[in-house]
Amino acid sequence: MSSKLALSEEIFKSHESAFIEHYEWLMRWSLHLNNQDRARAEDLVQQVFTQFAIAQTDLSAVQNIPAYLYTTLRNIHVSEVRLAGRSHNQTQSIVDFSGAEAALEATDPYTIFHTQDQLRRICQYACLRKQSSRSGSVLILRYFHGYHISEVAEVVRGTFPAVRQQLTFARNEARLFLEDPAALKFIQHFPDVPSPSTNRVCSADRLVVELREAIFASCQGDCLGADTLRSFYVEGLIAAADNSTLAHIVSCPICLDEVNARLGLPLLAERHPADTLGPNNDCRD
């Protein structure tokens, strides 16, 4: 266990050092992209660091770190520009709601078909994205399983601000996925993640169950043993799981409830998407 912790810490420190080394250079580019708006430039660079550190990319395989960081910076900036280009008068995006059920409850009866179709596609995005990014797993926990932000942070072994950043990142990508699934070329399609059912409407309760079943059906890999789970969830220590392991946890009802039990969190059977509402858990989270 100590070797795993040491390795995880070593990887984080190497990424942190690489990022700090190129920080000033990256800030100059960010200021240029944001028309010298320092607040927005700093926020953009922070998003780059969050994605860079959490991804734990093998730096030895990255031939040009500045180019890698710049590409990440530009991709996030382009996503934000595209989203900002939408009309300010447009109604709230379905992915901006705190949870799937909250989106359903706020839906006009005449647009229920469109809403349910979008929720199925958001679920498909999250199931595909979780294999390569923690943001997909964060979105599943928050949006479909009904975890509070603080609970998500406990499960993914991250900080509250980092989880908020990942959730924002996932929602931005989900919006693009709704507009054009092919736009996110980096998302790999897996045979275990089928396309969502369309051309049908069901009750809100039934749809929530359907979405969770789709998430469970997308689970890949074997269940984690007690020793593995214990290595990730040791009080006072942070040992973040890799993307594929975390993706398994959030989509496996057995492993997720094992984690819930270890952390003293409500089990899945005790949860409801409406539970996402509450202090510090409004639709902006």
Kindly list the domain boundaries of the chain, sorted by start residue.
Answer: 2-84, 94-276
* 134, HSE (Cβ side, Cα atoms, 13 Å): 24
What pLDDT score was predicted for residue 130?
92
pLDDT of 284 reads 40
Q: Which residues of the chain have pLDDT under 50?
A: 1-8, 86-91, 106, 274-284
Task: Count CA within 13 A, CB hemisphere, residue 218.
Answer: 30
Report how far residue 170's alpha carbon sits from residue 248's, in angstroms, rounded to the nearest whole number. Answer: 18
Q: Which among 202, 181, 204, 205 is positioned nearest to 193, based on CA atoms?
A: 181
pLDDT at position 247: 94
Task: State the chain's maximal CA–CA distance in angstroms.
Answer: 57
Give the C-alpha separation, 166 to 31, whole Å: 22
Q: What is the pLDDT of residue 274?
A: 45
Instruction: Please state, in angstroms and rounded to a whole number, the distance separating the CA atoms of residues 276 and 272.
Output: 8
Q: For the whole model, what pTM was predicted?
A: 0.60
The pLDDT score that the predictor gives to residue 178 is 85
CB atoms within 10 A of CB 138: 33
For the chain, the residue count is 285
- Give pLDDT, residue 232: 82
d(CA 32, CA 164): 25
Q: Residue 148 contacts by C-beta under 8 Å, 6 or more apart in sequence?
A: 275, 276, 278, 280, 281
Q: Tell me the one-letter amino acid at 33.
A: L
- Tell me, what's the pLDDT at 92? 57
Helix (H, G, I), strand (E, B) or coil at 87: coil
User: Quick count: other Cβ atoms within 10 Å of Cβ 94?
Assistant: 24
- What single letter denotes the amino acid at residue 254? I
